[in-house]
A and B are shown apart, each in its own frame.
Chain A
Amino acid sequence: GDSVTQMEGPVTLSEEAFLTINCTYTATGYPSLFWYVQYPGEGLQLLLKATKADDKGSNKGFEATYRKETTSFHLEKGSVQVSDSAVYFCALSDGSGAGSYQLTFGKGTKLSVIP
């Protein structure tokens, strides 16, 4: 079945550091890929998405490129801020026609940014 693997956290960075959170996936079809962010006590918010190979999703300084050859969708940001402290989830939606239309999530990576 489909699966998403994220790098284990927690990740602690100093403000203005470069961020990479690795995400790889396994899917039977041609999935769409997403990054969600969850701030403490809140629901998941869509951060960015990519629907086909070589697409780059971007939002709020975050970027991720859909790499079919390496089945990856790594999240990057050039300069993190304290306000970026949150849990980040990589997810996929496999449009192969089978299943429940659900998103398959990674376990989440907690990011803490210190001043």
Chain B
Amino acid sequence: DAGITQSPRYKITETGRQVTLMCHQTWSHSYMFWYRQDLGHGLRLIYYSAAADITDKGEVPDGYVVSRSKTENFPLTLESATRSQTSVYFCASSEKPYYEQYFGPGTRLTVT
């Protein structure tokens, strides 16, 4: 029972580079989410998806792009990484809207 996995777990990249964070869930949950966790800000929603091919912006979407061609995958791309995007990124999924969400282990991203 793998649940929800994220890769890579740690990533160091340079300013201006494109980087993609992967998220995969095995429950066939319809809803998936990307959050970032920063000291002083708690968890903030970047993007979410209600189903394959349906995505929408959250609280802090600027500089990020998502896609969802398959129900189980929800990759997050930083098109041109900036130092302000240094953070811990969590993917989550939920069976139904407004139900509890299940989180992946996170990706710690450092932009130098």
Interface status of B12 (Cβ within 8 A of chain A): no
Rank and list the top 4 A-B pairs by shortest CB-CB distance, nearest first: A43-B103, A95-B98, A44-B103, A93-B98
Interface status of B97 (Cβ within 8 A of chain A): yes
Interface status of A66 (Cβ within 8 A of chain B): no
With A100-B45, A101-B50: A43-B105 Cβ-Cβ less than 8 Å: yes
15 new A-B pairs (CB below 8 Å) besides A101-B94, A105-B43?
Answer: A32-B98, A42-B105, A43-B103, A44-B90, A44-B92, A46-B100, A46-B102, A49-B100, A89-B42, A100-B48, A100-B56, A100-B58, A102-B58, A103-B43, A107-B42
Interface status of A71 (Cβ within 8 A of chain B): no
Complex-state Cα separation, A82 to B84, whole angstroms: 35
Interface status of B77 (Cβ within 8 A of chain A): no
State the interface size on chain B (CB cutoff 8 A): 23
**Binary A-proximity of B27-53 (CB < 8 A = 1, otherwise 0):** 000010100000000110100101000
Complex-state Cα separation, A61 to B98, whole angstroms: 25
- Chain B residues with a Cβ under 8 A of chain A: 31, 33, 42-43, 45, 48, 50, 56, 58-59, 90, 92, 94, 97-106
Contacts of B58 in A (CB 8 A): 100, 102
- Chain A residues with a Cβ under 8 A of chain B: 32, 34, 36, 42-46, 49, 89, 93-95, 100-103, 105-108
A-B contact pairs, 6 of them (CB 8 A): A32-B98, A89-B43, A95-B97, A101-B50, A103-B43, A106-B42
Instruction: Give, as a whole number of angstroms, the nearest-CB distance from A77 to chain B.
Output: 20
Complex-state Cα separation, A106 to B41, whole angstroms: 9
Complex-state Cα separation, A95 to B100, whole angstroms: 12
B48 touches A101 (CB 8 A): yes
A102 touches B48 (CB 8 A): yes
